[in-house]
Structure 1
Amino acid sequence: MATHPYSTLSPERVLDAIEAQGYRCDGRINALNSYENRVFQVGIEDEPPLIAKFYRPERWSLAQIEEEHLFCAELTAAEWPVVAPLIGPNGLTAHEDNGFIFSLFTRFGGHAPEPSNLDTIELLGRSLGRLHAIGAQRDFKYRPAITVESYGRGSREFLLNNQCIPSSLVDSYATLTRDILERVDSIFESTPHEALRLHADCHLGNILWRDDRAVFVDFDDCRMGPAVQDLWMLLSGDRLEQTQQLEALLEGYEMFYDFDDRELELIESLRTLRMMHHAAWLARRWSDPAFPRAFPWFNTERYWGEHILELREQLSALQEPPLERMGGNI
């Protein structure tokens, strides 16, 4: 008997759920590249296609999903560039259908921004400055925060307690991650930072560039956290390149919101926590048939050996001076 949460989500059920919102589907349905949720492009008679997102059951509560949507509504009202969920005939953006919560979006095409273009980076900084100015106006009530406990210690405990790591590497992983979390705890405790509402998964794949402007998508992971969380994933290359990108990013950002340079100390900690969280996410989702197909290299000794090596490099990075503005000191 199928037990996976998406095992009953047939194309017919997807189409029926959308038609219950007042649309007439033309039968075309294409699954899009998404693992945590299930996302489809659905043809609509005499209208452009819609994007339907079916949230993973039991990941977020209805209140948490509605809070994500309310944040997007605030951003839309401020004319911030986000693809927000559509409002249904019942006035809601999150709809329930036989155990699933789903939302509908207009289709918006584009490509990822070019990170080597400093003018583009400055424009992204402007958008993020506006985002954080809005995000700082109030806190999330239901959605969680990015913390060392949830992203780091919780990930470590899950992997060790559920025998996810090959036995030959368990001791290495346990010792290394203990040392990492001690260092990350120390950095977080000694670095002043304030939590505000964030996108929280602000990598280039969640930004669509079209007509010389950026539009942000997928607020599924929005959380409370330090402002720098939405900035560091836009930096790439060697230290000089990242410093130049940081300068451009903050030049645009501070047109709308002040940035505390002390938060730059958190970048490598946040990068490390994301790596630990990602490994645990794959392990937690391994019973979903989509994951072994998409990540066949996971759950192998080679993967864990490379993961441990990457974490060792991060432990070294945590000892290094943080990134800083050109010619400046934190």
Structure 2
Amino acid sequence: MSEFSFANLTPDFILDAIESVGIYPESGLLALNSYENRVYQFKADDNFRYVAKFYRPYRWSDEQILEEHQFAFSLQEAEVPMVAPIKRGGDSLFHYQGYRFALFPSVGGRQFEMDNLDQLEILGRYIGRMHRVAGTQQFKHRPTINCQDYLYNAKDALLKSQLLPMHLETPFVTILEHLIEKTEQEYQQVEQIRLHGDCHAGNILWSGEHLMLVDLDDCRQGPLIQDLWMMLNGDRQEQLVQLDTLLSGYEEFNTFEQRQLNLIEPLRAMRMVHYMGWIATRWQDPAFPRNFSWFATDKYWEQQILALKEQFATLHEPALRLIP
């Protein structure tokens, strides 16, 4: 299937689409930082601020998007602070001339501080509550976190893209294949639940004393540690302190099994490879060469060879362990 273009999303088209569901913007459209979709903030004549999210066609089916929305609604009902889409006439997914979009309330706040232990403990509580709701049922249409998609498909996309410099192809592919083999060995099967899926600092807002989770665009089935490990940074001792803080909040609402810790580094490796494959897959979208120009430079691929080697070595080290 050919790559879809967002070129027709002109300001007039966007305004017409929003007005088709009975909301009438009175301010200009402020484009927000999103590459996979197109997202715009605006103020309407009802004096509320909204965010309109236009989905990338062919990426998700209607059923998958609606499952994302229903997950957000169920979290809100359980008093988990998740930004959920707005319903109009009972619908949360709207169609306009071949495009699909959703509307969300605009929420303010500053980015989550990963080195703030008080905020980490609060986040742990909210993720624990989220997973308690998430574990009550399974996604029927959303994908899983698996080696085929995150490693092998990503590798194929990289090699087909022809963005990898020819003189670096052999060392890059050699370490990539070693990393994939080791990651697949270490990615043990554990219980999979519904996840946020992309729970990093950029998808968490802090306003006053309140925390807000946003963006379920990558929600899927997977091991619960996926929603925790991206909060860990620094050396091993720093990560242990952060992990202990997160879990002290998490375990107030949900149980945590130590064997989940074995998946942190395999999941990190999967995210590294998947990220490269994602950019390669989207390279025909003009927004990607414009915003990821470094992806086509020798320096970037030299750095990735080193990063993959370091991650391969980390996969051979003992997993993080908390003292009971």
Shift in Å at residue 289 of structure 1? 1.1
Q: Distance in 1 between matches of 2:156 and 2:280?
A: 12
State the partner residue of 1:109: 108
The answer to whether the 8 Å contact 2:83/2:104 transfers is yes
State the partner residue of 2:119: 120
Amino acid at match of 1:267: I
**Deviating 4+ runs (over 6 angstroms):** none
Q: Distance in 2 between matches of 1:5 and 1:88?
A: 27
- Match of residue 224, structure 1, among 210, 221, 226: 221
The answer to whether the 8 Å contact 2:4/2:57 transfers is no
Q: Secondary structure at the match of 1:139?
A: coil
Shift in Å at residue 164 of structure 1? 2.8
- Match of residue 212, structure 1, among 201, 205, 209: 209
Q: Distance in 2 between matches of 1:321 and 1:306?
A: 25
Matches within 5 A, 1:129-208: 129-188=128-187, 191-208=188-205
Q: Secondary structure at the match of 2:28?
A: strand
Shift in Å at residue 118 of structure 1? 1.4
TM-score (norm 2): 0.97
CA offset digits 1:78-112 (Å, max 9, x no partner): 111001000012x1101011111100011100112
Q: Distance in 2 between matches of 1:264 and 1:58?
A: 34
Structure 2: state its 5+ residue gaps.
none
Q: Distance in 1 between matches of 2:113 and 2:34?
A: 22
- Match of residue 275, structure 1, among 272, 275, 278: 272
Structure 1: state its 5+ residue gaps.
none
State the partner residue of 2:305: 308
Q: Secondary structure at the match of 2:163?
A: coil
Q: In 2 relative to 1, CA 46–94 (structure 1 residues): closer, same or farther, beyond 3 Å? A: closer
Tell me how many residue pairs correspond in the alignment: 322
Amino acid at match of 1:9: L
The answer to whether the 8 Å contact 2:151/2:270 transfers is yes
The answer to whether the 8 Å contact 1:4/1:287 transfers is no
Shift in Å at residue 137 of structure 1? 0.7
Give identity over the alignment, percent: 46
Q: Distance in 2 between matches of 1:4 and 1:146?
A: 25
The answer to whether the 8 Å contact 1:192/1:262 transfers is no
Q: Secondary structure at the match of 2:244?
A: helix
The answer to whether the 8 Å contact 2:142/2:220 transfers is yes
Amino acid at match of 2:41: Q
CA RMSD of aligned residues (A): 1.2
Shift in Å at residue 27 of structure 1? 4.5
